[in-house]
Amino acid sequence: MLHATLPLDTEPFAFTPEPVEAAPARRPLQRQGVGVHLQGLTKSFGERRVLDGIGLELKAGEFVAIVGRSGCGKSTLLRTIAGLDAVDGGRITVGNGVARDAQRDGPPLRMMFQEARLLPWKTVLENVALGLPNGLHAAAGALAAVGLADRADAWPAQLSGGQRQRVALARALVHEPSLLLLDEPLGALDALTRIEMQQLIESLWRQRGFTAVLVTHDVQEAVALADRVLLIEDGRITLDLAVDLPRPRTRGNPAFAALEEKLLDRLLAR
Ligand SMILES: Nc1ncnc2c1ncn2[C@@H]1O[C@H](COP(=O)(O)OP(=O)(O)OP(=O)(O)O)[C@@H](O)[C@H]1O
């Protein structure tokens, strides 16, 4: 049984503050990504079995995307990995510990949602520093890493949707997560902002080495970012597609387009 009340964005973790000024282009890894092992996960809501024996092995530092038709259980899977939803059966291991203990004592995981979920009465900097005693310096570093150093004193309401998602990303990064769970975080953004955010997430992932799991409706986004794309159908993983293309990836390149088409064909075949 998993713990259901993980305070994803408030729990303090040990971290090393990042220099606010003159941050190196590629700073040394402070925390490695962790492997994730899922075994026979089952989860039902009433009569409806949403996860029907999910088994999965994620390597440390891997970037995995999850796609599938609306309602197939993508968010539920992410929420169970985060410990926000309890599973009915099966086992989740994050790093070396079962998820419940890993969340409490082990490598930190953070989750990002489609909405930024910022506190409107706190400034951008205070939102990022939430839950971190003396965390303003680290928060300023995280804001600089997402390109928002100059908006530290702004209120959330004064930001665009894309900027608010950057703040949400900074709020996750300030905890130096070993596992970052991304639940359609770019779904509400316009096409251009979305591509800029994809590039930002990819470059931060490459610099920092965390393991990333991205739920997305956008197969192009999945192919652009992921090492592997998983398709969920009927509560199971029915396709595990390796994306063996050099990074950064070029949309429209024939190999890219072929993978995108393969995924779309599978999604539309249902
Ligand atoms: N708390 C809940 N109570 C009851 N049913 C739920 C709950 N959460 C999810 N469900 C149901 O579980 C199924 C899977 O939901 P989930 O949100 O995981 O799907 P999804 O693939 O992420 O969908 P979408 O792509 O539309 O966001 C849906 O049928 C949904 O109605």
**Domain for residue 198, yes or no?**
yes
Cα separation, 132 vs 138, whole angstroms:
9
Final residue of a structural domain among 125, 157, 175: 175
The CATH number for 229's domain is 3.40.50.300
Q: Residue 18: name the closest of 153, 163, 128 by CA.
A: 128
223 lines ligand 1 (CB under 6 A): no
**Domain for residue 69, yes or no?**
yes
pTM: 0.87
On the question of pLDDT at 265 being above 90, the answer is yes
Q: Residue 57: name the closest of 106, 92, 103 by CA.
A: 92
**Domain for residue 15, yes or no?**
no
Looking at residue 32, its pLDDT comes to: 81
Q: Could you tell me the pLDDT band of residue 218, with boundaries at 50, 70 and 90?
A: very high
Question: Residue holding tokens 């990022």?
Answer: 128
**Which structural domain range is residue 63 located in?**
36-108+177-268
Q: Could you tell me the pLDDT band of residue 16, with boundaries at 50, 70 and 90?
A: very low
ipTM: 0.97
Query: Same structural domain for residues 127 and 240?
Result: no
Return the minimum-mean-pLDDT range out of 18-27, 32-41, 207-216. Answer: 18-27
Looking at residue 107, its pLDDT comes to: 62
CA-217 nearest atom, ligand 1: 25
**Domain for residue 137, yes or no?**
yes
- When the pLDDT of each residue in the chain is averaged and rounded to a whole number, the result is 87
Query: Same structural domain for residues 262 and 129?
Result: no
CA-68 nearest atom, ligand 1: 21
Query: Same structural domain for residues 193 and 101?
Result: yes
Final residue of a structural domain among 175, 201, 223: 175
Cα separation, 225 vs 106, whole angstroms:
26
Which amino acid residue places its CA nearest to atom 26 of ligand 1? 70
For residue 206, the surrounding DSSP H or E stretch is helix 191-208
Q: Could you tell me the pLDDT band of residue 29, with boundaries at 50, 70 and 90?
A: very low
Q: Could you tell me the pLDDT band of residue 105, with boundaries at 50, 70 and 90?
A: low
Final residue of a structural domain among 175, 191, 208: 175
Domain count, the chain: 2
Beta-carbon contacts of residue 168 (< 8 Å; ≥ 6 apart): 112, 113, 116, 117, 118, 185
On the question of pLDDT at 221 being above 70, the answer is yes
Packing angle of the helix pair 136-145, 161-173 (nearest 10 deg): 130
Q: Could you tell me the pLDDT band of residue 31, with boundaries at 50, 70 and 90?
A: low
**Domain for residue 82, yes or no?**
yes
Query: Same structural domain for residues 168 and 193?
Result: no
Query: Same structural domain for residues 66 and 127?
Result: no
Q: Could you tell me the pLDDT band of residue 227, with boundaries at 50, 70 and 90?
A: very high
Q: What is the pLDDT of residues 119-175, one digit of tens each?
A: 999 999 999 999 888 899 999 999 999 999 999 999 999 999 999 999 999 999 999
On the question of pLDDT at 99 being above 80, the answer is no
Query: Same structural domain for residues 200 and 86?
Result: yes
**Domain for residue 18, yes or no?**
no
Mutate to test the pocket of ligand 1, among 76, 111, 115 (most ligand atoms within 8 A of CB): 76
On the question of pLDDT at 28 being above 70, the answer is no
